[in-house]
A and B are shown apart, each in its own frame.
Chain A
Amino acid sequence: MNTGALALALAGAAVVAALASAASGLLATRWPRTLSWLAFPLLALCGATALAAGLLALAGDTTTTAILPLGLPWLPWHVRLDPLSGVFLLILGAVLVPVAIYGPGYTRAFRNGRDSLAALGVFTGLFVTGMLGVVLAADAFLFMVAWELMSLASYFLVTFQHEVAEHRRAAFLYLLMAHVAGLAILLAFGVLAASGGSFAFAAMRSHPPDALWASVAFALALLGFGTKAGLLPLHLWLPEAHPAAPSHISALMSAVMLKVAVYGFMRVVFELLGPPQWGWGVTLVLVGATTAVVGVLFALQQTDLKRLLAYSSVENLGIVFLALGLALIFLGSGHPALAALALVAALYQSLNHALLKGLLFLGAGAVLHGAHERNLERLGGLQRRMPRTGLFFLIGCMGMAALPPLNGFVSEWLTFQAALQAWQLGSGLLRILVPVAAAALALTAALGAAAFVRAYGSAFLGRARTRHVRRAHEVGVGMRLAQALLVAACAAAALLPTTLVGLFATATRQLTGAGLDQAGSRGWLWLTPIAPDVASYAPIPILLVLALLGASLVWALRPSRQVPVRRADPWDCGFAPPTPRMQYSAAGFAQPIRRVFAMVYALDEDTDAAAATHRLLVRDRLWGWLYAPLGVALDRLAELARRAQTGHVRRYLSWSLITLLVLLWIIS
């Protein structure tokens, strides 16, 4: 059995394990404990096999296809595992294993609740099956089936706690947007199938549509996959839906499902649409940069920890699409090697975001579990109550803030390096656009650091702002182990960039025909994506020197006598000692930036000096500008349609007759 077949068999085993997990979820109606010792272990198995399959496909650089005896009579299901699928299987597996370890501890609290644990088990299994199916599909039919399975299963997971009206509303919005997205993707495949003559990707690949239709398909794919990925202006469902689901599901949705959307987009745009046009790249760069900046600006203003993380996902997906746009620009203007660099940056960013956001959502779940609170204005001081979770969350925040030597920095650095090669472009317009996009990315990174300083600082530092938070407790072993695993994965992504870039380059070779041949030219320690004298980065020496310096400073400055450090009250200006309510609040922390970027937010703010209260609501302007008018317009249309709905049989019969006549006229 060669590597490719083995990888595909493992991927198949992962699908079977996910389906088995879904089936075993049914048992939870009678025996709730089966969720912990059957459904979640099966998910962990699924994750491990998916991870192995992805690694094998990448390391072996193999492409394996198979035809399943399922599906329509004239269209059996095609599956295919190539390096690009491998990257996303790797991402899925790396997040799913910790989530499955985390699950039993987290769902124990639901056992005595009103919510159906069986639904949680079944739909989690189906959700994972759907995501695996999308990544493995090699024809549009299977792709759409798996895509809809993923969307619908995740809808039921968002409505898991359906007694909360807010969750029902979020889930409905999600369902609506998912359908719009599904429709757009279906139409994009329709365009491709029309020129390819078949729904199989292989046929589409060999007969791409002409330039005009390719642009139509691109627009549809951007609409469809962009909605799922939360690109502006179609992102509003994301910060509603992701926080509504249980935290381990939020982790899967943010970390993996958004990446599946990225996968679908890459599959369609880089492989099936034929020769890329640089205009697509410009569109993507503009959309991606706007999404990133607006996403992080809203992340900075959220007081709900999970909503903050969801908005940060919007930001990160914006960065991924910006890098994809750079790749299209480079590819469209004849620089496949630079396109490969930008693609590697996009893939690396996808992996980093998956690991970090998985870690942070699991951390937010641990906070919710240990302190029963997710509002930053009521949290505080958790670092002392939950030291392990606090440390893991801090690492996640530092990674998200793109600080060296953590993993978030590597992908940001690669994106910058790709953008800095803009001088090689021929067109002056593009040479201006790309550096401006890099400026937007730099702004995003700085704002991201502020957002995550605020998140960690408000929740974990200072003093507890409410009584129940003061009594928070550390979470169990399983939940801590899951976070530790993700931290370990982040460390691998941070310290071994050359290895990972080498793996990702197999995928870019498949898409652009070029890899990053220079990336490891000075050895595995040095990441030199273009050439050693252009740019190099070596995270391990940085980490080592930091650790050595820190340790030797601690040693050199230790007090001569071994006495515990003296503790004292904090500085109070000579007045009464400060109370927890006198701390800077999360809203206060972000106030200067809110004031500077006031034009982005729809602020609803008033202060009552007599009652000493201040109310602040930060909303998206798009609600008023786009969504509300659309809703009103739809209502009007529905009102018009209702006029036809009179209840008289005669009227209905006449409608049928008219329809029949029109159809006959069309046929004749």
Chain B
Amino acid sequence: MDHFLSPLAHALSALLQPLLLLTVAPLLVAWIRRVKARLQNRRGASLLQPYRDLRKLFAKEAVVARTASPLFRVAPYLVFAATLVAAGALPLLSLRLPSAAVADAIAVIGLLGLARFLLVLAGLDAGTPFGGMGSSREMLVSTFAEPALLLVVFTLAMTAHSTNLASMAQTTLHAGLVLRPSYLFALAALLLVAIAECGRIPVDNPATHLELTMIHEGMLLEYSGRHLALMEWAAQLKLALFAVLIVDLFLPWGIAAGFAPGALARAALALALKLGALGALLAVAETALAKMRLFRVPGFLNLAFMLALLGLLSHVILEAAT
């Protein structure tokens, strides 16, 4: 029975896990906004507000700058698709994920890089100063964030002897609660990188309306309608993706090993709790911290890079025998 169902179940697993993440991504953003609002003594919008925003944007007409090339109109679709493909390689509820073998952790980072490459070009396309400003700053951030992220993955890959995300989660799961110094460094680095990559405070302010301080929003300034909806949704998906990446790499407990319904339900509950906790953590951090000046950002990311490097070195020096 299991043998007969297996290919179908695998295909469904590869198809449904990213779609599930895509569906809950706006909810995570709404949750963060809600917690932030409560911390600021506001009531906050409904948890469904991001979905309503997306629906509104999808219904609106798309206006394109006169100066833009065809790339401007292609970019949103490709940015969205690349982010979704990257999300497809992350185990969400079940570790049996065939698409994890299509793109390993390095390829996931590469796909996020592809999305960023196109996003940055789209920012430059209209030929406005704000778009260029956002693009230039985004490349500054990614110059430091991407290597740090790769180093985090390397640290864990050296322990797991694999760059397959499902195998890496499995290794952490099997090892049980072992306190590895390299993991602590890597986790700290990954948290910093995730903040920078997702454009959150203190690196970038997703709620800013001032063009001169924008990074991510600056690149989206010319977008409207369905194009903007795709870009926004891709950004929300990226935030959820990083949250799941943290969960998969460092806190995979609760994830199902197969497709048993009970285990899947437990995994869903565990994931919801973990993502909720991470989101709340981010909201607290964003409330407590102020946005940094742009040229403080490299220092922030250097810290992430150094932490990741320390993690890698402490693995090599302290844990290599294990």
Contact B107–A409 (Cβ < 8 Å): yes
Contact A453–B139 (Cβ < 8 Å): yes
Contact B151–A550 (Cβ < 8 Å): no
Q: A403-B117, A461-B125 are in contact. Are A593 and B147 (CB under 8 A)?
A: no
Report the contact-size class of chain B (Cβ under 8 Å from the partner): 35 or more
Contact B107–A533 (Cβ < 8 Å): no
CB distance from A360 to the nearest CB of B (A): 15
Q: Does A649 have its Cβ within 8 Å of any Cβ on chain B?
A: no
Q: A402-B110, A584-B135, A596-B298 are in contact. Are A542 and B63 (CB under 8 A)?
A: no
Contact A570–B65 (Cβ < 8 Å): yes
Q: Scoring A residues 585 to 598 as 1 if CB is less than 8 Å from chain B, else 0, what string do you get? A: 00011111101100
Q: A453-B120, A570-B66 are in contact. Are A422 and B316 (CB under 8 A)?
A: yes
Contact B107–A542 (Cβ < 8 Å): yes
Q: Does B183 have its Cβ within 8 Å of any Cβ on chain A?
A: no
Q: Scoring A residues 509 to 553 as 1 if CB is less than 8 Å from chain B, else 0, what string do you get? A: 000000000000000001000001111111001100110011001
Q: Scoring B residues 115 to 151 as 1 if CB is less than 8 Å from chain A, else 0, what string do you get? A: 0110011001111111111011101101111110011
Q: Does A428 have its Cβ within 8 Å of any Cβ on chain B?
A: yes
Please report the C-alpha to C-alpha distance between residue A578 and residue B131 in the assembled complex, in whole angstroms.
12
8 A Cβ contacts from B203-239 to A: 211, 221-222, 226, 230
A618 CB contacts on chain B under 8 angstroms: none
8 A Cβ contacts from A436-494 to B: 436, 438-439, 442-443, 445-447, 449-450, 453-454, 456-458, 460-463
Residue of B nearest to A589 (CB): B136
CB distance from B210 to the nearest CB of A (A): 11
Q: Does B84 have its Cβ within 8 Å of any Cβ on chain A?
A: yes
Contact B102–A538 (Cβ < 8 Å): yes
Q: Does A566 have its Cβ within 8 Å of any Cβ on chain B?
A: yes
Q: A439-B151, A568-B64, A592-B295 are in contact. Are A541 and B102 (CB under 8 A)?
A: yes
Contact B81–A457 (Cβ < 8 Å): no
Report the contact-size class of chain A (Cβ under 8 Å from the partner): 35 or more
Please report the C-alpha to C-alpha distance between residue A533 and residue B23 in the assembled complex, in whole angstroms.
30
B104 CB contacts on chain A under 8 angstroms: 535-537
A550 contact from B62, B78, B88, B320, Cβ within 8 A: B78
Residue of A nearest to B88 (CB): A545
Contact B143–A593 (Cβ < 8 Å): yes
Residue of A nearest to B99 (CB): A541
Q: A380-B127, A461-B124, A565-B62 are in contact. Are A447 and B151 (CB under 8 A)?
A: no
Q: Does A275 have its Cβ within 8 Å of any Cβ on chain B?
A: no
Q: Does B93 have its Cβ within 8 Å of any Cβ on chain A?
A: no
Contact B63–A568 (Cβ < 8 Å): yes
A381 CB contacts on chain B under 8 angstroms: 67, 69, 127
Residue of B nearest to A572 (CB): B128
Q: A413-B107, A570-B65 are in contact. Are A535 and B164 (CB under 8 A)?
A: yes
8 A Cβ contacts from A129-147 to B: none
Contact A404–B316 (Cβ < 8 Å): no
B312 CB contacts on chain A under 8 angstroms: 435, 439
Q: A436-B309, A553-B77 are in contact. Are A383 and B71 (CB under 8 A)?
A: yes
Q: Does B163 have its Cβ within 8 Å of any Cβ on chain A?
A: yes
Please report the C-alpha to C-alpha distance between residue A461 and residue B162 in the assembled complex, in whole angstroms.
40
Candidate in A413, A447, A462, A559 with the most chain B CB atoms within 10 angstroms: A462
Q: Scoring A residues 402 to 439 as 1 if CB is less than 8 Å from chain B, else 0, what string do you get? A: 11100001000100110110110000100110011011
Q: A423-B161, A526-B101, A580-B127 are in contact. Are A593 and B78 (CB under 8 A)?
A: no
Contact B162–A463 (Cβ < 8 Å): no
Contact B81–A537 (Cβ < 8 Å): no
Q: Does B90 have its Cβ within 8 Å of any Cβ on chain A?
A: no
Q: Does A114 have its Cβ within 8 Å of any Cβ on chain B?
A: no
Q: A578-B127, A596-B298 are in contact. Are A557 and B58 (CB under 8 A)?
A: yes
A567 CB contacts on chain B under 8 angstroms: 63-66
CB distance from B298 to the nearest CB of A (A): 5
Q: Does B265 have its Cβ within 8 Å of any Cβ on chain A?
A: no
CB distance from B266 to the nearest CB of A (A): 26
CB distance from A413 to the nearest CB of B (A): 6
A535 contact from B121, B163, B309, Cβ within 8 A: B163
B102 CB contacts on chain A under 8 angstroms: 536-538, 541-542
Q: A420-B157, A569-B66 are in contact. Are A446 and B142 (CB under 8 A)?
A: yes
A431 CB contacts on chain B under 8 angstroms: 316, 320
Please report the C-alpha to C-alpha distance between residue A571 and residue B66 in the assembled complex, in whole angstroms.
11
A571 contact from B88, B157, B222, Cβ within 8 A: B222
Q: Does B275 have its Cβ within 8 Å of any Cβ on chain A?
A: no
Please report the C-alpha to C-alpha distance between residue A461 and residue B77 in the assembled complex, in whole angstroms.
18
Q: Does B278 have its Cβ within 8 Å of any Cβ on chain A?
A: no
Q: A550-B81, A566-B63, A568-B66 are in contact. Are A536 and B127 (CB under 8 A)?
A: no
Q: Does B24 have its Cβ within 8 Å of any Cβ on chain A?
A: no
Residue of A nearest to B166 (CB): A533
A588 contact from B101, B130, B132, B154, Cβ within 8 A: B132
A241 CB contacts on chain B under 8 angstroms: none
Contact B316–A542 (Cβ < 8 Å): no
Q: Does B80 have its Cβ within 8 Å of any Cβ on chain A?
A: yes
Q: Does B47 have its Cβ within 8 Å of any Cβ on chain A?
A: no
B230 contact from A380, A439, A553, A568, Cβ within 8 A: A553
Contact B320–A570 (Cβ < 8 Å): no
Residue of B nearest to A419 (CB): B154
Contact B85–A538 (Cβ < 8 Å): no
8 A Cβ contacts from B169-198 to A: none
Q: Does B294 have its Cβ within 8 Å of any Cβ on chain A?
A: yes
Contact B61–A559 (Cβ < 8 Å): yes
Q: Does A582 have its Cβ within 8 Å of any Cβ on chain B?
A: yes
Q: A462-B125, A549-B81, A583-B127 are in contact. Are A449 and B117 (CB under 8 A)?
A: yes
Q: Does A638 have its Cβ within 8 Å of any Cβ on chain B?
A: no
A390 CB contacts on chain B under 8 angstroms: 69
CB distance from A569 to the nearest CB of B (A): 6
Contact A569–B65 (Cβ < 8 Å): yes
Please report the C-alpha to C-alpha distance between residue A534 and residue B101 in the assembled complex, in whole angstroms.
10
Contact A584–B133 (Cβ < 8 Å): yes
Contact A457–B120 (Cβ < 8 Å): yes
CB distance from B69 to the nearest CB of A (A): 4
Q: Does B313 have its Cβ within 8 Å of any Cβ on chain A?
A: yes
Contact B111–A404 (Cβ < 8 Å): yes
Contact B101–A538 (Cβ < 8 Å): yes
Q: A453-B120, A568-B65 are in contact. Are A592 and B294 (CB under 8 A)?
A: yes
A592 CB contacts on chain B under 8 angstroms: 136-137, 139-140, 294-295, 298
Contact A571–B130 (Cβ < 8 Å): yes
B157 CB contacts on chain A under 8 angstroms: 420
B124 contact from A417, A457, A545, A572, Cβ within 8 A: A457
Q: Scoring A residues 296 to 330 as 1 if CB is less than 8 Å from chain B, else 0, what string do you get? A: 00000000000000000000000000000000000
Contact A593–B103 (Cβ < 8 Å): no
Contact B298–A589 (Cβ < 8 Å): no
A582 CB contacts on chain B under 8 angstroms: 128-129
B258 CB contacts on chain A under 8 angstroms: none
Q: Does A573 have its Cβ within 8 Å of any Cβ on chain B?
A: yes
Contact A589–B110 (Cβ < 8 Å): no
Q: Does B43 have its Cβ within 8 Å of any Cβ on chain A?
A: no
Please report the C-alpha to C-alpha distance between residue A571 and residue B230 in the assembled complex, in whole angstroms.
20
Closest 9 interchain pairs by CB? A584-B132, A462-B127, A442-B147, A457-B124, A549-B81, A383-B69, A450-B139, A592-B140, A442-B150
Q: Could you list 10 A-B pairs, sorted by A, with CB under 8 Å?
A: A403-B111, A449-B113, A450-B140, A536-B102, A546-B78, A550-B81, A589-B135, A589-B136, A592-B298, A593-B139
Q: A446-B143, A569-B65 are in contact. List 16 more A-B contacts (CB 8 A).
A: A387-B70, A404-B114, A417-B163, A423-B320, A442-B147, A446-B113, A536-B101, A537-B103, A546-B81, A549-B85, A557-B230, A566-B61, A571-B222, A573-B211, A592-B294, A593-B143
Interface residues of B (CB under 8 A from A): 58, 61-71, 73-74, 77-78, 80-82, 84-85, 88, 99, 101-104, 106-107, 110-111, 113-114, 116-117, 120-121, 124-133, 135-137, 139-140, 142-147, 150-151, 154, 157-158, 161-164, 167, 211, 221-222, 226, 230, 294-295, 298, 305, 309, 312-313, 316-317, 320
